[in-house]
Amino acid sequence: MHDDDHDDERGSELGSPLGGIDPTRELGELLGELGSMLKNPDVTEALSKRGVNASLALVALEGLGAYLVGDKAQAADDLRTVAEEIEARLQFGLTPPEA
């Protein structure tokens, strides 16, 4: 069992204070900014040239966001989808291997 698989006295959600710190707003803003960047056509084009699919990155971002608020089932589903799609693209040569 991993430490994040159960609740402890520090709290399990971003809204729960961890040592008096509540990063919910800040993390939400960062995820929102990253999401906006991934929707920017210039960023999408630059990523595409490197074999990175911005839509998959957005799903991964949604999975991370779900995990950070404690929705582990949704996070697992989103991140599994991304992992499976990346593996399929690698298998079919749709994504260039990393150098």
**Amino acid, single-letter form, for residue 92:** F
pLDDT tens-place values along the chain, 99 residues long: 454 554 444 444 555 555 677 788 899 999 999 999 999 999 999 999 999 999 999 999 999 999 999 999 999 999 999 999 999 999 988 665 554
Contact by Cβ (8 Å): 64, 32: no
Spell out the residues 6+ positions from residue 85 whose beta carbon is closer than 8 angstroms to its own: 53, 56
**Amino acid, single-letter form, for residue 48:** S
Q: Which of 55, 82, 39 is nearest to 90 (CA)?
A: 82
Global pTM reads 0.72
* Six-digit token string for 82: 């991304």
Contact by Cβ (8 Å): 8, 31: no
